[in-house]
């Protein structure tokens, strides 16, 4: 099995953007295993009495198509299985928390960037953290990158303080200038 | 000295009185000795008895009594005069002594009171000076502390002000910014931290 995995790793597989993270990888593995079982059982059955081939998921079809694999071939299935196994065990996983639940298109864009800029087999684990407000927090195996708006505010806190100080000086001068003259009551009215 | 003088006078008066009493008793209580053996003597005695009969004796006794009473009265008068004089002198002396002692005591008291007053005034002055110094020190310390506290609070307020504003802005924004609108910002931030992320990813756990 390890030998097969090494062989799969040695070949450059393409990981479709639809496959975001580990849950998809595991689902693909299970699907591939069930397909493998079905095809093995079909060989045992009498010709013409085999049940209908199960329909593959969109992810599985995309993975096979992008890598030019025929899943009816056992060798291709084994290669893909080995690749998914190695992916499950070795692929770098990045946990990214957002303020809201991201859409698939948004996630796909992020995954595309990760696969092109960070690692071709990078997997994404999406988290939800409403306190972020805007931006995201990226957690790798060893580090945490706070790319949120709150962190940005903290970084530029001095600008805010400077603005406050500048604004605090102005109103005093303006108030002194704009202060209305004290109303004087005529002595006749007072009397 | 005066007490001894007084005691001497009283002793003299007492001894003189005792002498008079003894003399009166001797004159009144003396009985002729009876000498029965000697008839001459008896005859003489009878003559004496005849001369110094009861009436004569009574007369003598009366005279003696009167004389004694007179002397006693005179002496009593003298004694009274002496006593009055002595008492007056004693009173004067006592008055003088007591006045002198009292004056000395009062003078001492006055001096003591003056000293005590002076000490009290000095002590009060020292205490006042110490209190003034202490108060000045405390005022300076308090002003310093207040200044520092004011500065600290202003700094704290400034720091917290920024945090409060940040918190308020973040809370106000909430989920109002669409994630799709944030995409560019997020990608820029990821791009900015790309090198560190790659380093950590390739370094592995």
Nearest Cα residue in chain B from A93 = B201
Structural domain containing residue B17: 2-132
Cα gap B127→A126, rounded to integer Å: 76
pLDDT category at B142 given cuts 50, 70, 90 is very high
Cα gap B168→B34, rounded to integer Å: 152
What confidence score (pLDDT) does residue B128 get?
A: 93
Q: Which residues of A touch B203 (CB under 8 A)?
A: 141-142
Inter-chain residue contact A149 with B173, CB threshold 8 Å: yes
Cα gap A12→A3, rounded to integer Å: 16
* Probe site for chain A from B190, B198, B199 (most A CB atoms < 10 A): B190
Q: Which residues of A touch B179 (CB under 8 A)?
A: 98-100, 102-103, 106
C-beta of residue A28 within 8 angstroms of C-beta of residue A13 = no
How many domains does chain B divide into?
1
The answer to whether B180 faces chain A, any CB pair under 8 Å, is yes
**pLDDT surpasses 90 at B34:** no
Does some domain include residue B43?
Answer: yes
What confidence score (pLDDT) does residue B59 get?
A: 86
**pLDDT surpasses 90 at B179:** no
Is the ipTM here above 0.85? Answer: no
C-beta of residue A91 within 8 angstroms of C-beta of residue A122 = yes
Does some domain include residue B173?
Answer: no
Give which of A68, A120, A89 is closest to A5, Cα–Cα: A89
Inter-chain residue contact B173 with A117, CB threshold 8 Å: no
Does some domain include residue B71?
Answer: yes
**pLDDT surpasses 80 at B200:** yes
Of A5-14, B132-141, B183-192, the poorest mean pLDDT is in: A5-14
More confident residue, B43 or A23: A23
Cα gap B34→A49, rounded to integer Å: 200
pTM of the entire predicted model: 0.51
pLDDT category at A3 given cuts 50, 70, 90 is very low
* Probe site for chain B from A99, A107, A148, A158 (most B CB atoms < 10 A): A99
């Amino acid at each position: 099995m390890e030998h097969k995995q090494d062989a799969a790793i040695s070949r450059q597989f393409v990981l479709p953007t639809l496959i975001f993270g580990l849950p998809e990888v595991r689902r693909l593995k299970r699907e591939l295993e069930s397909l493998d079982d079905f095809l093995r059982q079909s060989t045992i059955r009498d010709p013409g009495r085999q049940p209908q081939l199960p329909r593959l998921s969109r992810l599985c079809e995309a993975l096979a198509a992008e890598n030019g694999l025929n899943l009816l071939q056992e060798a291709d299935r084994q290669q893909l299985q080995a690749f998914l196994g190695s992916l499950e065990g070795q692929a770098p996983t990045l946990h990214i928390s957002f303020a809201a639940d991201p859409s698939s298109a948004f996630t796909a864009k992020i995954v595309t960037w990760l696969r092109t800029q960070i690692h071709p087999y990078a997997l994404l684990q999406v988290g939800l953290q409403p306190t972020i407000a805007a931006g995201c927090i990226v957690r790798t195996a060893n580090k945490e990158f706070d790319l949120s708006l709150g962190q940005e505010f903290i970084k530029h806190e001095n600008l805010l303080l400077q603005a406050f100080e500048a604004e605090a000086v102005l109103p005093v001068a303006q108030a002194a200038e704009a202060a209305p003259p004290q109303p004087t009551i005529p002595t006749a009215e007072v009397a | 000295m005066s007490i001894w003088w007084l005691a001497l006078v009283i002793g003299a008066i007492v001894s003189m009185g005792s002498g008079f009493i003894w003399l009166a008793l001797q004159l009144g209580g003396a009985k002729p000795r009876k000498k029965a053996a000697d008839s001459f003597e008896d005859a003489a005695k009878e003559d004496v008895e005849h001369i110094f009969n009861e009436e004569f004796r009574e007369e003598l006794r009366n005279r003696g009594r009167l004389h004694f009473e007179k002397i006693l009265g005179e002496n009593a008068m003298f004694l009274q005069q002496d006593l009055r004089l002595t008492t007056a002198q004693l009173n004067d002396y006592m008055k003088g002594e007591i006045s002198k002692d009292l004056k000395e005591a009062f003078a001492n008291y006055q001096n003591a009171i003056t000293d005590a007053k002076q000490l009290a005034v000095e002590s009060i002055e020292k205490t006042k000076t110490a209190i003034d110094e202490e108060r000045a020190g405390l005022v300076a310390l308090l002003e310093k502390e207040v200044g520092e506290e004011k500065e600290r609070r202003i700094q704290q307020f400034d720091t917290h002000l920024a945090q409060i504003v940040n918190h308020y802005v973040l809370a106000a924004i909430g989920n109002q910014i669409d994630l799709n609108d944030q995409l560019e910002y997020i990608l820029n931030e990821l791009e900015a931290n790309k090198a560190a992320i790659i380093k950590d990813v390739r370094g592995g756990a």
